[in-house]
Amino acid sequence: MLLIERIIVGSLMSNVYLVFDNVTNEGILIDAGDDADKIIEVIKKNNVEVKRIYATHGHFDHVLAIGELKDYLECKFYIHQDDSPIVEKAAESCRRLLGRGCSDPPRPDGYVKDGDKITVGENVIRVLHTPGHTPGSVSYLTDDVVFTGDTLFAGAIGRHDFPGGNLEQLLKSLNKLLNLPDHYSVYPGHGPSTTIGVERIYNPFIGLRGLYREGKKI
């Protein structure tokens, strides 16, 4: 069984997820935007062996701690290839928007693509390409959980007005996510968790954006 620890980091209150097998204690990190020491403390507390970090997308508030974590954990970093240019500019974006010094994140060790399977202990996590917020945004799915990055939030959807954002792609990605069963828990890049069923009914942006599934308005 997979266990999930949420860690809130940085001035933008980004979510980091420590996802690990409760038997083998093998785990991964999903995003790592800041506060490496805080993340390491949670890893140690749970006695988890982390060898891989997977980013949902390349914005600085989701990748800035990866360099320090890579050095400490001796782990590898993966992201969708379409977001590599965004990672390369992450420190510059951080300095411009937050007015502070930021270290450049490392180059990815490899890339994920739609349909890839990630093994964590005896568990499998699938990769779903969900562009729109950024060209290389991805979501990570288990049998009952989806980590949506900045594509879908509790009561909101991701912005598409940043460089590389695309509203049409975002709507298609949201439809992919809303095709998941109602019971799926949603762990977003910011804010609290929710479920697919709750967002399908109550998320005001879903209705306002006029999303459709199978020809019927959601």
pLDDT at position 211 is 54
Low-confidence residues in the chain, pLDDT < 70: 207-218
Report residue 206: phi and psi, to 5°.
-65, -50
Q: What are phi and psi of 71, to 5 degrees?
A: -65, -40
Whole-structure pTM value:
0.93
**Residue 85: what pLDDT?**
95
Joined together, the tokens standing for residue 205 give 């942006």
Q: What pLDDT digit, counting tens, does each position of 168-188 carry?
A: 999 999 999 999 999 999 999
CB neighbours of 215 closer than 8 A, spacing ≥ 6? none
Q: Could you give all domains of the chain from N- to C-terminal order, each with its CATH number?
A: 2-217 (3.60.15.10)
Element (H or E) spanning 120, and its range? Answer: strand 117-120
- State the Cα–Cα distance between residues 217 and 210, nearest whole angstrom: 7
**Per-residue exposure over 196-208, b if at least 16 CB sit within 10 Å of its own CB, e if not:** beebbeebeebee
Model pLDDT, residue 207: 62
pLDDT (tens digit per residue) in 22-63:
999 999 999 999 999 999 999 999 999 999 999 999 999 999
Cα 169 to its chain centre, rounded Å, is 17
The pLDDT assigned to 97 comes to 77
Q: Name residue 93's amino acid.
A: S
Checking DSSP bridges between strand 117-120 and strand 110-112, what pairing results, if any? unpaired
Look at residue 194 in the predicted model and tell me its pLDDT: 98
Whole-angstrom Cα distance, residue 121 to residue 19? 11
